[in-house]
Structure formats: C-alpha cells, structure tokens
Chain A
Amino acid sequence: MDDPRLTLSGIPLSPVYGEGPLPGEYPYTRGVHTDMYRSRLWTMRMFAGFGTATDTNGRFRELLRSGSTGLSTAFDMPTLMGRDSDHPWSLGEVGRAGVAVDTVEDMSDLFADVDLGGVSTSMTINGPAAILLAMYVVVAEQGGVDRDRLAGTLQNDILKEYQAQKEYIFPPRPSVRLVTDVIRFTAAEMPRWNPVSVSGYHIREAGSTAVQELAFTLANGFAYVEASVAAGLDVDAFAPRLSFFFNSHVDFFEEIGKFRAARRIWARWLRDRYGAVDERSLKLRFHTQTAGVSLTAQQPETNIARVAIQALAGVLGGTQSLHTDSHDEALALPSEAAARTALRTQQVIAHETGVTGVADPLGGSAYVEWMTDEVERRAEEIFAHLDEIGGGSILEGVHEGIQSGWFMGEIAESAYRFEREVNAGDRIVVGVNAFTEGNGGSGADLLRVGQETEDDQLARLAAVRSGRDSEAVAASLRRVVADATDPEVNLMPSLIEAVRARTTVGEIVEALEGVFGTYVETAVI
C-alpha cells in the first residue's frame, strides 16, 4: 500500500482485515468501496435553512468556509407543502423551520456566490420536488453551469410522506408518477444527480423501530424500481443513481447492523429480483443523520455526546455522507454556534479517532455479524408481508399498506411502546427520567426567526409577481396542466418553462391539484 496508515503509537495498518467477501465485493455488507474512507472521507453535509433565501445563503457560505463539503437545504413548511408564502395556510410558518422559496428568484438568491458546478447540493423536498429541481436547473443555467454538470440529491421520496412525515400534496399514484418523471429526466440529462433519496430517517423519527425503518425504506426503494421499470426504463439506467438516507439512533450496534444489512438486502434484491447486472445498481449508497428525536431539551449539552456516538455508528456502518444534529435542536432550530460544534464532531471522528484507517473495522465481530443477519431476517419478514398484500408486487403492497393505514399504525404503535417504556423507567433517557440534577434554565443562545422574516418574504414575492409577464405565466400553467393530463408525457420540461417564467411554486401546485387531486389522510392513532 502506498499510503500506510499508522496508529497513534506507530503501528502500521492494512486497509482491511478478515476474509471475503471484502468491502467493495458483492453483497457489499462490508461497504461499497474497497478501501472506504482511506481514499475518500464521507461528505460532511450539514442540513441548513431558515428565513429568507438570503439568510440561508449566509449560513451556506459559513458552512463551506468551516469545511463542509456539501450543502443540504431545509425548506420551510409552506414550500414543503407547495404553498406560496402569501397563502392563508402559510401564516406563521414562512421561513420558520426552513428557507422560504416561492419563485426562481428565491432559488437564485439561495445559491448566490456558490459554485454550483463545484459543490454538491441536497434538497430535502418531496411533494413539490420536481418544481424545486426545475428551479435549480434554471438557476444553474443562468450562472453558466449546464445541467449535466450538476451534482446533488433531490429527496423526492413521496411514499414515506404518506407513511411518516406527512408532507404529501397529491394522492399516491400521481405522486409516484412525478417521482418517475424526475428519474427519467435525470437519467437522460443529469448524470451526476441522485433523483431520489429513499428515506428511512423520517420513518424512524415518527417512531418506528430500526427494523421497520430499514424494511419500509427498502420496500419504498423497490417500489420506485418497479414504478420506473413500468415507466419504460431499464433497471440499470437509473438504479445506480438511487440513493438512501437513514437515521442513526442511539442503540449503537443495532444501527451498525442495520446499515450493513441494508447494503446486503439491496444488492440481493436488485440482482435476483429486478435483474440488475451493472454493479453500480447493486451498491446501496446512503446519507446518515443522527436522531433528532433522541435529543433532549433537558441538559442539552448532553446531546453532543449522543450525536458523537450516533455519528460514529454511521461511520462504522459505512455511510457516504453525514449530518450531525446540533445539540439545541430539541429547543429550537440550530444556532450557528451549535451547528459548528456538530460539524466539529464529525471532524474529530474523521481526523483524530483513526476509525477511517481500516474499512469496516467491525466486520467479523461475532456480535456485529449476528446483529446484521438478525436485522436482515426481520426485514425480510416485512417484505414478505408487503409482497403478499401487493399480490406479488412490492409497489402495490406499499400502496395497499398506505391506503389501509398499515404503515402508520405500525409506526404509531412502536412510538407509543417506546414512550411507555421511558415512562415506566424501563428505558433510561439521561436527563429525562434519570440523572436529572442540573435540569432547567437553559441559557442557550437560540436561533429566533421572527415575524419580520415573513413580512420580508411577502414583500419579495409581491415584487416578483408584479414584475413578471402574466401572460407567460398563464401560458406556462396551461402547458403544465396539459402535460399532467397525459401520463405518457414527462412533466419536467413544462415545469422548467414555468419556473423560468417566474410562476410560483403554489401556482404550479394548484394547477397540478386540478388534475391530480389533493390527498387527505385518514388519521390512525
């Protein structure tokens, strides 16, 4: 090896230990790359967004200066739900829990002075994901960066919205069509873009167990594979760009087993069930975020330790990118100082602990291998259930599980079980039901986003509305409606044309609702 790593005491290390299959070899249980972090560290991708586009742009540039290697955008609730800032439902939520984006002008300000050809960007958005991708493409092209050079990830995972996060707009079937439109578009025109980040994070945050998180997420992934194949794509034309997003919770070895099992299951299913032959289609790549729900409002500094341990589990599980939560997240949106500490936590793991010197350092541990097998076995039971209720189709099984409320009931049950265990003292949460000395009176400097942000954003939106060509806007919406009506047509070109005309997110969403309808869930508690 031309890059011998040494321990702190000077002991030389091999890049990997143990017998095959090694990291980089099918079924990739031990990792998707041969030497993992020796050749390339994970991407330190911190999720950020608040206020107006200009506010968030400032945070982005600060994160890049501090050594972040990718960007990740949090949109505010109205944007996530496809509503304009001046919609009555948006009152009180504009720019509060993410950045407000109404038009391509906001997107342009969001990425001002950021080299879109050089950085990779993740956008956490689902219901209106195709519209936001269209905006990103237009902003990049205005800055002279062609779409085929853009690198990044669109979350665009609508199925888990019905199951867990609840940021849906249209009913499931037309929503899945929008997902496959994006997959077809990026497969043809954006080779460096991940069109879907199949996400377990929100399923877990909503209360699921690790096994449910894994199984529901991979089932959703299989569903997108089936939907894309049904839309006419060859599996190897898009599967290499599907990416995943998992939670790293606090039960250390269960999490590591989950990440390892995820890779093995995906590789086997893609090869054996879906007939993928390209090795890249079989490799499950994932982003990890530490578990926001595990953070406590009590003694919030304790969260720094939780985050470090959870981040380490993600790294030992072989993640490709990582967001570490800020310790003040149970109190408010992350402050800049807390976000910096969270990034520093990753840098300590990457540069001081030595865990990057050897690929899959836990591989071969009897306990870790057993846990990996056990998590896999339990996940397979869930796939068998979905396959059965779907009549031999995971896609149909997932649709059925959403329609019947099965996923939501399973998640709510697990969430309640956990709360009962904590309440009964069967499960210790430090600072909450044990070791509570020192609780109370957090003097932390919290990030505050006030009403003035909403007022600013309303003024920005009004200015765009009055300065645009209203005939071009109306024409663009007519084309969106016409294209939406024909399921054979890909909506992306008409969405790009619409956002270029400064048509708002809300106007496009309402036009699409006219064709697709609006989803209302039957609450399951």
Chain B
Amino acid sequence: MVDTGLPIRVVLAKLGLDGHDRGLKVVARMLRDAGMEVVYLGLRQTTDNIVAAVEQEDADVVGISMHNAGHLTLGPLIVKALDEAGLAVPVVIGGIVPDADLPELEAAGVAAVLGPGASVEEVVSTVRSAAGRDGST
C-alpha cells in the first residue's frame, strides 16, 4: 500500500447481534488518540453495511469486534464480502477468540486478531501493520 502521508482510516463495527461494545469503544478512542481517523459504525452491522462504509470512507483497515463465539462464521464472511466488492482492505478482529481458532481465521484471510488485555501499543501497531503503514500514523 502506498503511504500517502494521510492518517490511517479505520472503520470499526460490531458484526451481528452481539451488543458488547465496551471493547470497540475503547479501541476507537485508542486509535483516535494515536492520530488515526475512526469511522465508528457501532452495533448490529451487516456485511453489506460494512462494505458500503469501507467503500464510501476509503478505509485502510476494518476492525470487527466479536464476543459472541460467532467469529468462525462471521469473520470469513466479512473478508469474503470485501473481496467480492473488490476492496483489498485488511480485517482485524478483536474480542474473545480462542487460540485454537487463529489458524482457521488466518487461512480465511483475517489479517490479525487482538485478544483481551491487548495494550494500546499492540492495538495501534497491529492496525498500522495491517494497513501496511508501520511507523506512521
């Protein structure tokens, strides 16, 4: 990806019915404080909504938060939906994801997974490196 010098733009969403939004809100503020532009879609988003927002907002990264044990179904689904829309935008999943599920998510094209207790540095650097923008904002 070309580093345009512009801030990294991140679309954050909860995919599905799960309402646990504490983590995603905290991440939104962490990324903002790190100088990124955050488009916070919030709760109950569908793959279609997220794809539309990524396209419209010209996002560099999509962050999906999942606490509903549905990540193996929904994670690959959002990657596929972005792919089908011709959007090469990496997907980072945050939330409760058992280690054993990581290979399957990676194989499905999920760029990274952030678990409980991830520090600000980990969150920010994971998003930067997913955006191909290590060392920048």
Contacts and interface: CB of A to CB of B under 8 A. Distances in A.
Interface of A: 77-78, 80-81, 83, 89-93, 96-97, 161, 165-167, 205-207, 293, 296-298, 330-333, 412, 415-416, 419, 423, 429, 432-433, 441-442, 446, 449, 451, 521, 523, 525
Contacts of A332: 69, 96, 98
26 contacts: A77-B17, A92-B16, A92-B68, A92-B70, A92-B72, A96-B69, A97-B68, A161-B19, A165-B19, A206-B21, A207-B26, A297-B116, A330-B96, A330-B116, A331-B96, A332-B69, A415-B25, A416-B26, A423-B120, A433-B119, A451-B73, A521-B43, A523-B40, A523-B41, A523-B43, A525-B40
A429 B21 contact: no
Interface in B102-121: 115-117, 119-120
State which size class the interface on B falls in.
35 or more
A91 B16 CA distance: 8
A297 B115 contact: yes
B30 interface: yes
Contact of A207 (B22, B43, B116, B119): B22
A416 B96 CA distance: 19
B85 interface: no
B17 A83 contact: yes
Nearest to A81: B17
Given A166-B21, A206-B21, 18 more contacts: A77-B68, A80-B17, A91-B73, A93-B16, A97-B67, A165-B19, A166-B20, A297-B96, A331-B96, A332-B69, A332-B98, A333-B69, A412-B22, A415-B25, A423-B119, A446-B100, A523-B41, A525-B25
Given A91-B73, A423-B120, A167 B100 contact: no
A166 B21 CA distance: 8
A93 B75 CA distance: 12
A525 B73 contact: no
Nearest to B100: A446
Interface string B46-75: 100000000000000000000111101110
Nearest to B115: A297
A91 B48 CA distance: 14
A90 B69 contact: no
Nearest to B46: A89
A521 B69 CA distance: 24
Contacts of A330: 96, 116-117
B29 A525 contact: yes
A93 B17 contact: yes
Nearest to B43: A166
Contact of B16 (A89, A419, A423): A89
B117 A77 contact: no
A298 B96 contact: no
Interface of B: 16-22, 25-26, 28-30, 40-44, 46, 67-70, 72-74, 77, 96, 98-100, 115-117, 119-120
Contacts of A525: 25, 28-29, 40
Nearest to B17: A77
B74 A92 contact: yes
A285 B12 CA distance: 40
A163 to B, nearest CB: 12
B21 A93 contact: no
A298 B117 contact: yes
Nearest to A295: B116
A416 B119 CA distance: 12
A392 B125 CA distance: 49
Contacts of A297: 96, 115-117
B19 A92 contact: no
A77 B67 CA distance: 10
A442 B99 contact: yes
Contact of A91 (B42, B44, B74): B74
Given A330-B116, A416-B29, A521-B42, A166 B19 contact: yes
Nearest to B21: A166
Identify which of A92, A330, A331, A442 gathers the most chain B CB atoms within 10 Å of its CB.
A92
Nearest to A332: B98
B103 to A, nearest CB: 14
A513 B118 CA distance: 39
A415 B74 contact: no
A96 B30 CA distance: 29
Contacts of B26: 207, 415-416, 419
Contacts of A331: 96, 98
A330 B23 CA distance: 13
Contacts of A446: 98, 100
A93 B18 contact: yes
Contact of B117 (A161, A205, A296): A296
A296 B118 CA distance: 11
A349 B119 CA distance: 34
Contacts of B42: 521, 523
